[in-house]
Amino acid sequence: MSKAQERRKAAEQQIQEHKAKKNKYIIAAVFWFLSSLYIYSNDSGFSDVYSLKPFIYFIVGPVVASIVFGNIMFFLQKIIEKGVIAFLGNNAQNLVLPVISFIFFCALVGMFLVIFKFAELLQTVI
């Protein structure tokens, strides 16, 4: 492989990583927003007109959640990819993508539950 091809491949990899990181921020913010909507709709005292809770949950919460949980999801994705590739290696290359997809989907479900429980915990603190 020539140096130009190697540089092009490295640039494409960086672009893909940037897209993945941006998408993780969006996913974390959406997970937080959905959790907050559920908590907001079920708690009678949560939706007071002069309360800071809605502001914290719907303005500050998605920003902080996207930074914290988005980075966790991004690094979790990288760990899953490297772990599966190292485990399966060259023996079963056709299984790498489905296994990564399945494990990452399970990790996303788990991350949603973590975000939801964190939002509930924050509700009890506030």
Residue 102 pLDDT: 92
Distance CA 99, CA 92 (A): 11
**In the structure encoding, which two tokens stand for residue 31, read together?**
């997970």
**Phi, psi angles (nearest 5°) of residue 112:** -60, -45
Quote the pTM value.
0.72
Pick the range with the lowest mean pLDDT from 17-26, 30-39, 43-52, 56-65: 43-52
CB under 8 Å to 69, separation ≥6 — which residues?
A: 28, 31, 32, 111, 114, 115
**In the structure encoding, which two tokens stand for residue 74, read together?**
């991004």
